[in-house]
Amino acid sequence: MADAGNKESAPIGGDEFTNTELENNKNNTMVEEGSTLLRRMEISVAEAEKRTGKNTVNMQEIFTVYLIETRPIDAITEGHNPAPDSLWRRYSEFEILRNYLLVTYPFIVVPPLPEKRAEFVWHKLSADNMDPDFVERRRIGLENFLLRVASHSVLSNDKILYHFLTEEHRWKEVVYETGFQAKADSRIKALSATFRVKNPDKRFTEMKHYSDELQSLTSQLLRVRARVADRVYGVYKVHGNYGRVFSEWSALEKEMGDGLQSAGHHMDAYAASVDDILEEEERYADQLKEYLFYAEALRAVCRKHELTQYELETASSDLISKKQQREELATGMVRTFSFKGMTNKLFGQETPEQREAKLSLLEEQIVQGEETVTEKTVECEEYVKGAWVDMQRFKEQKDRDLREALIGYAVMQISMCKKGIQVWTNAKECFHKM
């Protein structure tokens, strides 16, 4: 497998991905370009299960594991229906897989995992990560993550992904053998460092700003939705009071009793239906949350480009400085004020031997600097090419997914309103019969 961590040094963070290393990522793949794993394998996260065990400090803990089932497409299309291969994975193992993909493919907007703990919840919804409803939604989110990765033209053909899906025990050894963890730590330091690019790529600058706005607006939308869910829950449950009052009133009336009691039953059914409705609404919220987390993945790609551009500019600036030093040493003319120039005036010039030795050293440094600039230029160009293609793919996916999610959410709201109208229409018919 490719090892992208063989650079001797790096100006920031030490995590380098040259054009050669990006090319070497192909060594991690299993099949020809353009074919995805999802076309060859059926993948699902079939169920979740609570378990008890000991953690790394030998303390008893309760955790959830998820059953991954896979089955070759060929066997299904040929009329066979073999039992799927299956294995169990913890959420933390999904995190390891995603961190590996982030480090190995920095130019790709890697799909996010579902939230580890519930966020943006309305107050009647449990925020407990062991809550059965939350675990079920996370199961769906983990399956969605695997399907996203398995349908990506690059990520889907990585051997580590295949090991994750098919080898229950040895896959961790394989992924740690890549040395990704050290590169992941270096990546975090590099992306959190402060630096300013002199000539930023306008497209990436705009995309980074877009990712910030996408995250902000999605957060606002989720907060509004949580507040609305609280109000809707209250309105539905208050209708249960109508049901109670109508039922009690029906006991007092002989001729009106049946109509009042029937109306009360309609109100009770309406009040009880809110739990299923809001559970369905949570699924739409999870789709929005996915793009809340996608925004961070998009920002990381832009930030990595800034780092690559910064390193190219640093290497170019260093080369220019070395060439200027060579010219000054060869001609004996100092263009700018320097401490070295002052010491030469005070204590005399260097001997010819000293000058020749320094010139020789500068020549070697210039040759190395030119190679570095060439390498960084190609690296930057390759990164821009790969990242821009994937960001355009992401944009098309995002537009399609959010359009469908928002339309589905609107249809659900319309259905809720129609249900309210129907309940009161039924109540009106009951009152007519009194």
Residue 38 DSSP code: G
Contact between 190 and 14 (Cβ < 8 Å): yes
- pLDDT value at residue 56: 65
Q: Which has more confidence, 211 or 326?
A: 211
Q: Distance between CA atoms of 203 and 306, rounded to whole angstroms?
A: 11
| pLDDT tops 90 at residue 68 | yes
Q: Distance between CA atoms of 154 and 72, rounded to whole angstroms?
A: 19
pTM: 0.80
| pLDDT tops 90 at residue 16 | no
* Class of residue 335 by CB neighbours under 10 A (exposed 0-12, middle 13-18, buried 19+): exposed
Radius of gyration for the chain, computed over Cα atoms and rounded to the nearest angstrom: 31
Contact between 246 and 263 (Cβ < 8 Å): yes
Contact between 315 and 376 (Cβ < 8 Å): yes
- pLDDT value at residue 100: 95
| Largest pairwise CA distance in the chain | 122
Segment 401-411 mean pLDDT = 93
Q: In sequence order, what are the residues at sequence separation of 6 or more whose Cβ sits closer than 8 angstroms to the Cβ of residue 418?
A: none
- pLDDT value at residue 22: 46
- pLDDT value at residue 181: 83
Q: Which has more confidence, 120 or 239?
A: 239
- pLDDT value at residue 336: 54
DSSP-derived 3-state class of residue 407 = helix
| pLDDT tops 80 at residue 342 | no
pLDDT digits (tens, 9 = 90+) for 153-195: 999 999 999 999 999 888 989 999 988 888 777 766 666 666 7
Residue 204's pLDDT band (cuts 50, 70, 90):
very high
- pLDDT value at residue 93: 95
Nearest in space to 38 (alpha carbons), one of 154, 150, 141: 150
Segment 118-135 mean pLDDT = 68
| pLDDT tops 80 at residue 223 | yes
- pLDDT value at residue 10: 36
Q: Which has more confidence, 48 or 350?
A: 48
Residue 244's pLDDT band (cuts 50, 70, 90):
very high
- Residue 373: both structure tokens together: 């600039």
